[in-house]
Amino acid sequence: MDVVNVTIVGMGPRGISVIERLGAAGVTSKVVLHCVDSAQLGAGAVWKTDQTRTLCMNTLAGAVTLFTEPGASVSGPVQPGPTMYEWIQELREDGDSPAYPLYDSYPAHAQAVAFSSDLPDLLASFEDELAITRPESNPSRALYGAYLQWCFEIALDRLPSNVEVIKHRTRAVSLTEVQGRDRVELADGSVILSDATVLALGWVTPSATAEETVFAAASLPWVKPANPLEQDLSALPPASSGKKVLVRGMGMGFFDVLALSSIDRGGQFIADSTARGGLRYLPSGLEPALLVTSGRGYPFLPKSEYAGLPPVASTPAFDAVFEQLEGADTICFLEEVYPSILHDALAQDPEFDIDYWFNPLAGFTGNPDQLTAFIADSLANDIRQAEQAASSPLKNALWVISSVRKRVSMLGAGGRYSDQAEVSRFMKMGQMVGSGPPAFRSRQLLALVDAGLITFLGARPQITVQSDHWVVTSPTTEQIPVSGDVLVDAWMHTPNALRTDDPLLASLSPRMRAFAGTGSPETDPATRLLVNPAGELDPRVLLIGIPTGGQHPDTTISPMPGTDPLFLQETDKAAQSILKIIGEQEQG
């Protein structure tokens, strides 16, 4: 075979990293590399550079990278490069940013022949944001997309001349085996005969649930669960119309809806020392009033403001348990792991009540106005605790809970927990207390509550369709029915690549099997090749990232410097698998 075709479907961070790892490993064969994505190549849908700059990352500027570091657990050569913040320092010419050798060929401002002509102008458009960004800042998602675009163009330029790159700005809709190769059909009608295919698909939305089928049939205004950038919020009526907007979800999707329906509609948050959250909301008259509910009924907690990157949490008891159980075949989380986590949390705050955080509204009953007042008071305290940061015993205890989550999932990799339901319960609580918004979003939420634009409805909601409106009830608010004209589902489904309407994954169903009853297709840990129903490795198709979360740990987190990220270990394994397939094709 004269030319080997390699296809990467999904050109967000993981797709970029696979290309970088291929270039680092040194592809010596004649290869055509097909880069496929219907979203922006080199940023993906979540990080596209032309999105509103109101939406921010939930990761800190100094805590994300796309480059490998010395000592990384990768087979291919390490190619160091800047974290996002170090890149920002270089862009604004701070003078004290690390002098990475790659800047000689690839300057941060992208004014070099290796880069596309429009990238320098894009970077220049972030001048105001760049000027105020600190290591602990939450950059706009668009700015992270610009960093990814810079990394993408470097990765492409570093590929050897024997690799031809073809970009396809379209969707892959089918993958079928044809005479020892895979026929990848694209939505634009073109076809790739692929010898190795990496699926870096990101968040895979499952098929509609029974409830969603009923909702769709009702034909009422409904914003379905999705990435906020894919949700159309333009139809949300302003509060002045008298119409009501129900919102289900109080996690990160909710805080995005909050920002998009206030700031992006002309509202302003004004610093006000007399306001209990430090902000006052100046309405535009175009923002909706939101009636909000969720499974737990309480907003995700604000992150602590450390005035720097977060400290390393003190977890000696858990550290010892982790070391002891790392090679165990079966682990009981509640008996063997959980007590050590609680021990470390109580060492930070002897009064820490972990049960409260599993159910913050336990014991409360009252009408929506009473609940809103209760949550607003609690939210004001949450903000104060976040401001105290390392001086707050409570936040230190919660930081223990947050910080162990990655290693909890690593212990259970491969289905080793005997009580996975208890692990899931703990991880969901840990997400609420540790993966919440930056504190400024919580201040904005409290300002909107105080402006009368947010009302809380309680936990465990039941939503029904009645004639021409939605109705929600909650045991927290005494099952008092609340009607709404529009329903916004401000959350995203747990990914499920085996129960989805995605035609590409449907075409692959004969070549996939579920891992341990999850919605994740099983892959080989060493190669990331799919495992077929017979337990054999697929010869050509690899799946990486979020859709494999039921088997592999830490699939949703961007690479953090200094942590030997599993993300980069995985993309390196994928690159090594591609190189092996290329070698086999040449020998065959």
| DSSP designation for 336 | I
Q: Does pLDDT of 327 surpass 90?
A: no
Helix residue ranges, H only, 162-295: 210-218, 252-260
Q: Does pLDDT of 185 surpass 70?
A: yes
Threshold 0.85, pTM exceeds:
yes
Q: How confident is the model at residue 190 (pLDDT cuts 50, 70, 90)?
A: very high
Q: Does pLDDT of 517 surpass 90?
A: no
Q: What is the pLDDT of residue 585?
A: 84
Q: Does pLDDT of 587 surpass 80?
A: no
Cα dihedral 227→229→232→238 (10° resolution): 110
Residue ranges and CATH numbers for the domains of the chain are 39-167 (no CATH), 210-300+437-489 (3.50.50.60), 316-361+376-434 (no CATH), 494-528+540-571 (no CATH)
- How many CB atoms lie under 10 A from the CB of residue 226? 17
529-531 and 537-543 beta bridge pairing: antiparallel
As a whole number, mean pLDDT of residues 359-374 equals 96
486-489 and 222-223 beta bridge pairing: parallel
Sheet-wide strand order for 191-194: 172-178, 181-186, 191-194
4-9 and 537-543 beta bridge pairing: unpaired
> CA triplet 98, 99, 101: central angle to 5 degrees?
135
Sheet-wide strand order for 222-223: 222-223, 486-489, 245-248, 290-293, 454-458
Instruction: Write down the mean pLDDT value for the chain.
Output: 96
Give dist(CA 15, CA 43) in Å, integer.
9
Q: Does pLDDT of 158 surpass 90?
A: yes
- Say how far residue 532 (Cα) sits from the centre of its chain: 28
pLDDT tens by residue, 285-326: 999 999 999 999 999 999 999 999 999 999 999 999 999 999
Residue type, 216: A
pLDDT tens by residue, 34-51: 999 999 999 999 999 999
Strands (E), 123-190: 163-168, 172-178, 181-186
CB 33 within 8 A of CB 197: no
Q: What is the pLDDT of residue 586?
A: 77
Give dist(CA 355, CA 513) in Å, integer.
37
Q: Which two tokens stand for residue 148?
A: 């990814």
- Say how far residue 285 (Cα) sits from the centre of its chain: 32
Q: At what angle do helices 368-388 and 393-403 cross, to 10 degrees?
A: 90
pLDDT tens by residue, 425-477: 999 999 999 999 999 999 999 999 999 999 999 999 999 999 899 999 999 99
Residue type, 69: E
As a whole number, mean pLDDT of residues 545-559 equals 92
Q: What is the pLDDT of residue 588?
A: 65
Q: Does pLDDT of 143 surpass 70?
A: yes
Give dist(CA 490, CA 443) in Å, integer.
19
> Which of the residue ranges 242-251, 315-324, 491-500, 528-537 would you say has the lowest mean pLDDT?
491-500
Q: What is the pLDDT of residue 307?
A: 93
Q: DSSP for 418-436?
A: S-HHHHHHHHHHHHHHHS-
Q: Does pLDDT of 546 surpass 90?
A: yes
Strands (E), 212-256: 222-223, 245-248
How many residues does the structure list for the chain?
A: 588
Q: Does pLDDT of 360 surpass 70?
A: yes
Give dist(CA 296, CA 461) in Å, integer.
9
pLDDT tens by residue, 336-353: 999 999 999 999 999 999
Q: What is the pLDDT of residue 2?
A: 76
